[in-house]
Structure 1
Amino acid sequence: MGAFTSIKPLEGDGQFDVYIARPTGTPRAAIIVIQEIFGVNEGIRRKCDHLAEQGYLALSPDLFWRDDARVELDADVPEDFQKAIEYMQKLDQDRAIYDIEATIKAARAELGGTGKVGLVGYCLGGRLAFMAACRTDGDAFVAYYGVGIDNLLGEQHAIGKPLLLHIPTADGFVPPEVQKTMHEGLKDNRHVSLYDYEGMDHGFAAEMGARRNEEAAQLADKRTADFFATNL
């Protein structure tokens, strides 16, 4: 359904690719899908395609472009997983937020300058979705199993739009004490909602592969769909 196109970053030279899936007819809004550490792979592209089927303009920026363009890795392949960790460690997350902001601007331009833009991120993208809620002018934000959000709580005062967090309680990358810090640190923020998924592990809502838990993924995705329907 979708295809890649190129847009310019907010700063510096060059351009980076964005996967775009367009709905039939006028989009109801735009949603930016922020990649996992595995790049804008088939699973992320499918998420964009599904959003387009729901009537949204869906975009996913290639955030690893400064190191390698169009990285596409498989979470179920050990060698790919290690490569993904290396790409994540090299990523300048502050510059990634600039690229996400550039994608927001591109989405709004395609919507005619006035449409709303939501953001949803997974894994690394979940962390970046939280950062985007603090630093960009998006209209609604969703983070699935974001890593290291406890280290970003000092920025939460800047959150002015709705933010939804999906937290699997058995996340191997976000231990229970970190989950507790997130709950306690965000409980008084009226813009933030948190859902726990008992016994679920990191990646439970992946579009494809061994990590996916169908029941929990459908529940989280229904909550996300309702959240965007209300806020976009």
Structure 2
Amino acid sequence: MRLEQLEAFLAVAETGSFQAAARRCGVTQSTVSRQVQSLESELDAVLFHRTTQIKLTVAGDVLLPRARRISQDWQQATNEIADLMAGKQPELCVAAIHSVCAYLLPTVLQQFCQDYPQVQMRVTALGSDRALKVLRDGLVDIVIVMDNPRLTISTDMHVQTLYEEPVEVLMAADHPLTQFEIVPWDALTRYPQVVFKDGYGMQRLVQE
């Protein structure tokens, strides 16, 4: 079964005439007739009642909606490929800190892809400083980082708070800081710390 056979079948079914179908397809009437006959031969079924008025047979009625769907899918595929080759396919580029990529984005992205299947997603895990840099350089569309007013207050970007979470300190059970229910920053600075390397929002927050 070839696409041109289905197109000829659809043209006859929708115009009610082999002659009109030929004009629509831009071919001769004999070509349309051969394509329909070839399709009938492959299906081993007559698709049209060939009388003074062309009408679909029961087999033709069964084929019609499926042929339309195949034709529409093919047209959509060719359009999408043409857009892709022309650089027109929509793409959303996101940079986010590693914890967001690991724990929050998977379910969000799954729903986004279901709602917007035509959009290509590209996600990169970066530290806050690096993520903001690639945003300013125009390499990504959205970043999800730890908020730092020194870095995010700018006229060239819009900042929106997505959620808030506490900063937790991991320490030994007998550490002096366990006396605090909430550890003060000034108390924390008195002890050696293991923090993220430069370029990460948490490291900058602890330093400041």
> Fold conserved (TM > 0.5)?
no
| Structure of higher CA gyration radius | 2
TM-score category, normalised to shorter length? under 0.3
Please state which structure has a larger fraction of its residues in helix.
2
TM-score of the superposed pair, with normalisation by structure 2:
0.25
Please state which structure has a larger fraction of its residues in strand.
1
